[in-house]
Amino acid sequence: MVNDLTLAKGGITVTIYTDTIAENFTNKIFIITPAQSTANQASGQKDNKIVDLLRIVHQLVIKGYIAGTATKTAKEVKAELVSIYKGAATAGGVTTLTYDVNTYDGFIEKLNVVEKAEDSPAETIRDSARYEVAITFVEGIAI
């Protein structure tokens, strides 16, 4: 079972009920291909030179859903998530993602929201609708 996570910024907190979480680590390396003159081609290919500056990017790709709470409709929770994505009306700063026992500061790079109808009965379909979300979160600090 994947644990639920929260995203928080500017006094707004939204819970994501997760289906999958993928952690991606990307290391930006520089590859230098040495020149090979025609006179030296018979000696074979020269090895590439690699420069590793440990410029590692940590991304979390989250798939799950948001739903209404006891005090807010699913539509209101969706509006809060979009507000966090847009900066939560704060001047700068990072979004805090809490997952399992870990806390990450960073930014939501991509947010995709798909509205789905719940199977459970409710007064209106809008109140019981849940939203499937796909989020790409990049760990980092603000400059």
pLDDT for 56? 93
pTM, to two decimals: 0.80
Write the pLDDT tens digit of every residue in 79-114. 999 999 999 888 888 999 999 889 999 999 999 999
pLDDT for 15? 94
CB 138 within 8 A of CB 104: no
pLDDT for 86? 93
Measured CA to CA in angstroms, residue 77 lies from 51, 61, 73, 133 at distances of 45, 20, 6, 12
Which range scores top for mean pLDDT: 38-42, 117-121, 122-126, 132-136? 132-136
Q: Which of 5-14, 72-81, 121-130 has the lowest mean pLDDT?
A: 121-130
Give the number of other Cβ atoms within 10 Å of residue 64's Cβ. Answer: 20
pLDDT for 13? 94
What's the average model confidence in pLDDT over 113-141?
76
Q: Residue 2 pLDDT more than 80?
A: no
Q: Which residues contact 35 (CB under 8 A, 6 or more apart)?
A: none
94 or 36: which carries more pLDDT confidence? 94
